[in-house]
Structure formats: C-alpha cells, structure tokens
Amino acid sequence: MTPPTVAPSAGARSRSAAQALDRRDRAWWQDLLARAVVGLGGISAVLFIAAIIVFIASQGFEFAWHRLSWSELLTGARWEPTAKPPSYGAWPLIAGTAWITAVAMAVAVPLSFAAAIYVGEFATGRRREWLKIVIETLAAIPSVVWGVVGLQVMNPLIQRLFDTPVGLNVLNAGIILGLMAAPIMTTLAEDALKAVPDAHREAAEALGATRWQTIRKVVLPHARPGLSAAVLLGIGRAFGETIAVLMASGHRLLPPSSVFDSAATITATIAAELGEAAVDSDHYQALFVLGLVLFCITFTINLLADWLVRGGRGRA
C-alpha cells in the first residue's frame, strides 16, 4: 500500500480505517504463536501427569485386578516376590519409608527453619546474598553424591558413635535425606518469611518486642501457611528420593523397630528390583502397583501443601 500523496477524502479514510480492523499484521501473528506455544507448555504438565498415571496403572493393572490382595499389599509383613509361593506384603517398605521420612524431617525442619530465620531475619547485605547462593548450591548436589556420603562417611561414623554392627540404617538414611531436603525447605521457608510485611516487624519492635519475640509472635504466625507448605514439600521430596536412600538405608526388607535397624523404602525397592523382574511377570506388575501407591502419597502431600498455601493467602 502506497501512502496517498493528497489528503484522502473523509469517505476514503473511514474506509481504510475499517479495513485495518480486520488486518492480520505481524504483531497479531506473533501474539497467536506465542499464545499457542505457551499454552502448549502449560497444558503439557497435565498431559505428562496423565500419561504417567495411565502408564503405571496399565503396567500393573492385570495383576492388581486379578491376583493382588490390596489388604495384603498394605499390611502384609513379607515382601518376597520371588519366593514360592510369592508374598506381596509391602508393609516393611511403607514402614521403612515412614521411619526414614520421620527421621529426615526431625533433621530437616529445625535445620531449615533455623537457616531460614537466620537468612531472612538476621543476616544482612553481602552475607545474606552469599548464604542464599550457598544454600541453593547445596540443593543442586546430585543425590548419588549424598548416597556416597551415607555409605563412606556416615556409615563408619554411626558404627563408631553408637557401637552398631551396621551403620547403614534408618538413622543414616534419615540424616542424609534430611540434609538433602533442607536446602529447598530453607528456600521455601525464607520466601514465606519474606512475605511478612516489614511494617509488622517495625510495629512489634516499636512496642518493645525483642527480635526473637517479634519473630515468634508476629512473623512466624503470619508465615505459618507457607512454612507448613515448605515442610510438606520437604516430606514429598523425602518420600520420592531413591538412590541416596538405597545406598544409605541398608535395604533390609523388614519393618524397622528402631532407628538403628536397616530398612528399605518403596522407591529403593522399585529401583533395586525392576531390573531383575521379567517384564509382565507378577513381580514386575507388583512393582508398578507400588509405584502407584507412592504416586498417590506424594500427590496427596502436594495437594495438601497447595491447599495450605492457598488457605493462608485467602485468610490474610
């Protein structure tokens, strides 16, 4: 289109203006493309989740439907899929997972909350920035490295300190898992503290509250939903971790009765046995059912965390 050399009549101008209303120009196409790409990315998460559920369920479906007793799976005390007759009691694995996660949280919650409070409320300036970088780096250490620490450092240490024959046990795996979960929990907890307005801190301190009183009576209650979410996501992380636990827990297929017992977790069992089980055998399918159980647990935890955070925002 060439620009008119003479001033167009009023009729021509309104006509060209009307045409412009339907023109698909560059920006219009870019917008369409960007929306499509971004939308696809957003929806893909849902697709992946759905695909994984369908895959896991389909792999174990035939066995779970016809031959598996769910009550035996959830409460049976023997996980012996290769024995004759086989026994599919996953209780030792569920108990092992629960024990190790509990120890992990006993380590991670105080550690990460203390770290978050220090970084968020006390550290200032350059030290604060450095600490945040270090904590984020800690979160990026591969889990197999943590496993080696459990195997080579914690194992002899626990043997010597507690005079136990084996140092690969619930305590070892729990501490390793706790240290692994702590950085991400620290970051989330610090975000929750940062969301508390400074005006609230000032108001409390102007009343003569000490720093600690301000944190305990004003900051922490206000940040509670975010802190709960941090704990739950840490639990989810601990539940799902595999290789480090496999290396540090001793992988004993019995329910532990103290932190010095070796134990096995759901994830570690799947990782250890899936390679040996013949495809489509009962054993193979049982492992997928275990995966489904694990998925349900972590899904519930994440949902709960999300609900907590939302509930907190809605209230404040």
Question: Which residues of the chain form contacts with another protein (CB under 8 A)?
Answer: 124-125, 198-210, 213, 217-218, 221-222, 316
Closest by CA to 115, choosing from 65, 165, 160, 182, is: 182
Q: What is the rounded CA–CA span in Å between residue 224 and residue 240?
A: 24
Least separation, in Å, of the C-beta of 113 and another protein?
20
Cβ proximity of 116 and 238 under 8 Å: no
List of residues 6+ apart from 116 with CB closer than 8 A: 185, 186, 187, 189, 190, 192, 193, 230
Q: What is the DSSP string of 38-91?
A: HHHHHHHHHHHHHHHHHHHHHHHHHHHHHT--HHHHHH-S-EETTSSS-EE--H
Residue 43 or 203: the one with the smaller Cβ distance to another protein is 203
- Could you tell me the smallest distance in angstroms from the CB atom of residue 207 to another protein? 4
Which is nearer to another protein, 119 or 245 (by Cβ)? 119
CB of 117 to another protein, least distance (A): 17
Task: Quote the least distance from Cβ 202 to another protein, whole Å.
Answer: 6
Q: How far apart are CA 165 and CA 147, in angstroms?
A: 19
Residue closer to another protein (CB basis): 15 or 216: 216
- The minimum distance between CB 204 and another protein, in angstroms, equals 7
CB 201 to another protein: min, Å: 8
Tell me the two tokens of residue 31. 């917008």
Q: What are phi and psi of 267, to 5 degrees?
A: -60, -45
Q: Say which residue the tokens 């989740």 belong to.
A: 49
- Residue closer to another protein (CB basis): 91 or 118: 118
Answer whether 68's CB lies under 8 Å from 286's CB: yes
Q: Which lies closer to another protein via its Cβ, residue 222 or residue 251?
A: 222
Min dist. Cβ of residue 315 to another protein (A): 8
Token pair belonging to 159 = 């043997």
- What single-letter DSSP state applies at residue 263? B
Q: Which is nearer to another protein, 206 or 278 (CB)?
A: 206
Q: Of the two residues 132 and 283, which places its CB atom closer to another protein in the complex?
A: 132
Cα–Cα distance, 61 to 292 (Å, whole number): 10
